[in-house]
Structure 1
């Protein structure tokens, strides 16, 4: 199920070149054993992971630094479309060769690269990761794994096809806290969990607004065409880069995409959830004046409330997962004292079972049984192996696994887990976007029907298809800009 594979007519950096050159990768290095080269403190090439970073600023900057901190990764190449954002990484790794176009970097340097880190806006994750995977490179991709459901499924299948080590950048998956939640659940303290609430105070960027009509000059350090990548061409506008792109569907995935892989991951892992069977959505209204509701389908809504149903498995009941963003929170559980914090304050997850309840914050942090007095009374033995360094060890774990080779070492968020988790998150966005599908009424073209509202969307996970509202399927897979 490959992604669309076309390239700009002005370049020969085609994926055909990627695949053709991939066969040369095996001859890329002359690996000499440590005892031949010798020397105290010497690290043989076979003990070093040569990493290329696509996206060197912001989160990419910290990702690259954390790979280097493992002591077993050498940052050999850096790539960013914005020289301003990349400046700190360029200074930190002066020996790393710098590119603006990831295609040029992979085409010219693939023989010298073992693994690739992708930390770019959501809409370009899939093409960058897939290009690296087709060359046999291990990949680390920031959350959400992809922009679209189809892309997530494609990368999940590609990881197996190309036999590469993968990890999504939801570091909480390596944390001790989510493992403690799993141990409580496995010990039967909650009974059968049937309901989960997840919430966030995001967005902290503009959403539910009209696209700016004020054109701005593109900064000389930014290659705007490369930044747009797969997205439709639009004139540059101020303040979209480097952060506010998250609120626009062409580039980002909203509050749910930004935080869902951190907050939904604990219940997804603890309960062993797979593909949902149905989803409903409601969104916060935007008013452009006292009487008129705004309609801005290009922009993510200011708030949303999603309900996903997961089928029962292994004798367990179905699970209803409620997602709330924009500051909306569920009702406080009665077991929580009035002044006790729920989740981590602005974000959290609440598990409700037939015997008990538990909650946590972002990344599964601050795990707590309810009432909180139980935390002092209950002593469940540790049964699940911890990741060295916990959440901070998420990076080193991937580096070690890449050095060990495909299938040789476990990682916390391989695409076989991260892919279905991302699909679940993006299913919520599909429901949100279906909410804005509209058609003029036959008797009054100035009025509109919204057929995607107030219905339950039924999902065929195996075939990636909504079965009862065809218009929703346009959000499963988008069209890339010509040349991408």
Structure 2
């Protein structure tokens, strides 16, 4: 499949077997020995997963047709609970089913025709048989007791030599350190979005992937979805004319933000002498005060490269995303999914200016809501573009072409404003031209982009490792996307509009802002 921006071709089957054999003893069994329909061990990739709760669990399900040989997680209780849940889901009479289903069509959109699955997607699906999720889960469960478990990824790399590829699905601040360590060992990597915590890490990841020539995929799985690629096909067709404005929004955060760190309550707070600010502090500290971490949690390994902070149940296992030390807030969580498509469709270079405004920001947790304006220069025949990001309940105005129950979906979406029309990509819905008369008269766009077989992002990575496909979202593209996203957070943290010199990775109008393009790792990391 000719995907859009991957310059690293997949290794050949012979190269794959040779490279795997160089690191471990590989048993190569011809297919005919096993019988029809069975997969030879030499056709399988040995995968390790770092960070098994949350998206790591979903990514693991996506590669269960392969050999999962190692798990690494700083919280053994969460890891064991996840393995137990898979055993329950794969028990007799339990169907694993697909990881996600189609959403029912919402009311109010009857005026817009639906074009169904693309011919390009049907052709892509025909290239490979769909995975049998239930059979893969049962196979995984049968061999789960042999999977080695670690708390420290460094020990895993040191002790286990049969790993071919690594999925990194930890909190954001550890994505780059783990992926870089894996690539240094020649291991292919699949890194959850956001792939990096800061701009310099994103650039370093892309550079290392090119140097090591491993198959390095970003885990923004919506990049492989048929309808999202159809949205790009609409824009590149020129049907809405010159696009000069794009609005992108999400309902995130769905985790705590805009709060102080938990502490021990003071005597004044206990006596009821509480200001508005200390009321929030007292509430946070009462709900989730600092405490010794559970015995199953390696808190120092969770902190990793970040500064030392006392444990609180407010931080782990989910709410870390709202804290600046470890996450990237709503923009980091959803920007890789939503900003992705305007960057792709309009071939946007890095922005020249970025300005983020927000609700109050305390430098510890991200604000409750932000709005970011990105200004992109003209390129070739394309005019300059302003992209505006909204989160925390902020949304763009509803287009005048909508009415009744047809509206912007609050959970998230993309609205392109062109000189001849608009394109609305509501989250979970097919892309629709506005007005509906333009949509219906135009029909489905020409399918310029190739599609990913079965829209399976993880298996696209596996097939690229085997030399059967090219990556959907390689680091060479994803690092560029993440730099754009992360510049919004640089403006937020610097509390100013920034003018950006992309060639030199430098903010030119505020020297103080440059510190937020990189980070200082904790001593020992």
TM-score by length of 2: 0.77
**Structure of higher RCO (CA pairs closer than 8 Å, 6+ residues apart):** 2
RMSD (Å) for aligned C-alpha atoms: 1.8
Q: Distance in 1 between matches of 2:224 and 2:147?
A: 28
Q: Distance in 2 between matches of 1:59 and 1:420?
A: 22
Per-residue CA deviation, residues 40-94 of structure 1 (Å, 9 max, x unaligned), is: 44433331011000011111111101111xx3x1111001000122124434433
Per-residue CA deviation, residues 89-132 of structure 1 (Å, 9 max, x unaligned), is: 434433211111000001111x2011000000000000001100
Q: Distance in 2 between matches of 1:210 and 1:108?
A: 40
Q: Distance in 2 between matches of 1:41 and 1:184?
A: 39
Aligned to 2:484: 424
Q: 1:336 aligns with which of 397, 402, 419?
A: 402
1:131 equivalenced with 2:127 (yes/no): no
Moved over 4 A (4+): 35-42
Q: Distance in 2 between matches of 1:355 and 1:410?
A: 35
- Displacement of 1:345: 2.9
Instruction: Tell me if structure 2 keeps the 8 A contact 1:90–1:96.
Output: no
Instruction: Tell me if structure 1 keeps the 8 A contact 2:20–2:162.
Output: no
- Pairing of 1:200-349 with structure 2 (within 5 A): 200-213=250-263, 214-285=289-360, 296-342=362-408, 344-349=409-414
Q: Distance in 2 between matches of 1:400 and 1:433?
A: 40
Per-residue CA deviation, residues 297-323 of structure 1 (Å, 9 max, x unaligned), is: 111111111101111112211111101
Instruction: Tell me if structure 1 keeps the 8 A contact 2:23–2:162.
Output: no
Is the alpha carbon distance of 1:27 and 1:66 closer, same or farther for their aligned partners in structure 2, counting shifts above 3 Å? closer
Q: 2:155 aligns with which of 92, 104, 110?
A: 104
- Displacement of 1:27: 4.5
Question: What's the secondary structure of 2:247's corresponding residue?
Answer: strand
TM-score by length of 1: 0.84
- Displacement of 1:296: 1.6
1:74 equivalenced with 2:67 (yes/no): yes
Higher helix share: 2
Per-residue CA deviation, residues 355-386 of structure 1 (Å, 9 max, x unaligned), is: 111011347x4311111343332223333222
Question: What's the secondary structure of 2:484's corresponding residue?
Answer: helix
Gapped regions of structure 1 (runs ≥ 5): 1-22, 286-294, 436-451
Aligned to 1:410: 470
Q: 1:353 aligns with which of 418, 422, 425?
A: 418
Question: What's the secondary structure of 1:350's corresponding residue?
Answer: strand
Aligned to 1:464: 505
Aligned to 1:381: 446
- Displacement of 1:134: 0.6
- Displacement of 1:464: 1.2
Per-residue CA deviation, residues 240-281 of structure 1 (Å, 9 max, x unaligned), is: 101111111100101111111111111111111121111011
Question: What's the secondary structure of 2:194's corresponding residue?
Answer: coil
Q: Distance in 1 between matches of 2:26 and 2:187?
A: 18
Q: Distance in 1 between matches of 2:206 and 2:258?
A: 32
Instruction: Tell me if structure 2 keeps the 8 A contact 1:34–1:43.
Output: no
Instruction: Tell me if structure 2 keeps the 8 A contact 1:185–1:270.
Output: yes
Aligned to 1:366: 430
Aligned to 1:11: none
Q: Distance in 1 between matches of 2:27 and 2:211?
A: 26
Q: Distance in 2 between matches of 1:468 and 1:280?
A: 12
1:157 equivalenced with 2:198 (yes/no): no
Greater shift after overlay, 474-483 or 34-43?
A: 34-43
- Displacement of 1:229: 0.4
- Displacement of 1:203: 0.7
Per-residue CA deviation, residues 308-360 of structure 1 (Å, 9 max, x unaligned), is: 11111122111111011111001111112243121x33211100112111011
Aligned to 1:54: 50
Aligned residues: 423
Question: What's the secondary structure of 2:430's corresponding residue?
Answer: coil
Q: Distance in 2 between matches of 1:229 and 1:81?
A: 10
1:395 equivalenced with 2:391 (yes/no): no
Per-residue CA deviation, residues 372-406 of structure 1 (Å, 9 max, x unaligned), is: 3433322233332221112xx111111111111xx
- Displacement of 1:24: 10
- Displacement of 1:208: 1.2
